[in-house]
Amino acid sequence: MKKAWVSLLAADGWLPHHELYYDDNLDQQPVGQIDLYLSDFVSSARLPPAYCRPSTAELAAEITRNPMITLTYERLRAIFRRARHLHKPTKYTTEVGDEEENPYEEAERRVVEERAESERRLAEERIEAERRVAEERAEAERRVAEARDKERAEAERRVAEARDKERAEAERRIAAEVQRRVTVELARRLAESRREAE
């Protein structure tokens, strides 16, 4: 983007204060707009021709040069209103809109806004990722707890089955032993009865 520093020429010389203005990015010069060359601001005596406004003869010969900056007439009037006001604030005033808008400040503001938006999106993504990780961790812990409970229940079932089996086997052995003793006792009494009968 092209830019120019504009200062006011007073009776006693150039004012030390100057203002920075940016190009309107115009590609032609219709009514109400003006091309400005360095020779419009300083003497053209020692300037290279490339920095000078083309003369009438050069324009007739279709000799053109790239201007330093292209402004609308209204913008040019605003520049000089501001320059006069800076020179004599009590005598000259400015109008609303005369303050130059700095496109670099606007670009910097957009960069700050985009950075803030990017940081906000990153924070949201981080929160969402942490939430998913927490859910996956909770689900994994639930599965581990279920597997642990299932293994515990299976172990308790096996222990109970083994205990029941051992109890049944012990009861069977006791019953067999009782049956054997009863049989032995009956046989003994029967033998005694026979001996007494003889």
Lowest model confidence (mean pLDDT) among 41-45, 136-140, 157-161: 41-45
Strands 33-36 and 69-72, bridge-based pairing: antiparallel
Reply yes or no on whether the pLDDT at 182 is more than 90: no
Residue 58, pLDDT > 90, answer no
Residue with more model confidence, 4 or 137: 137
Helix (H) / strand (E) containing 179: helix 103-197
Q: Report the percent of the chain where pLDDT is more than 90.
A: 22
- Looking at residue 132, its pLDDT comes to 94
| More confident: 86 or 150 | 150
The rounded mean pLDDT for the chain is: 79
The first and second tokens of residue 178, run together, are: 């009782």
- The pLDDT score that the predictor gives to residue 84 is 75
Confidence check: pLDDT of 1 > 60: no
Adjacent-strand bridge partners of 101:
none
Question: Residue 82: enclosing H or E segment and its boundaries?
Answer: helix 73-87
Q: What is the DSSP string of 136-174?
A: HHHHHHHHHHHHHHHHHHHHHHHHHHHHHHHHHHHHHHH
DSSP 7-43: --EETTEE-S--EEEE----SS--TTEEEE-GGGTS-
pLDDT band at 44 (very low <50, low <70, confident <90, very high): low
In this prediction, residue 19 carries a pLDDT of 66
In this structure, what token pair is assigned to residue 73? 């007439």
Answer with the residue of higher pLDDT: 5 or 74.
Answer: 74
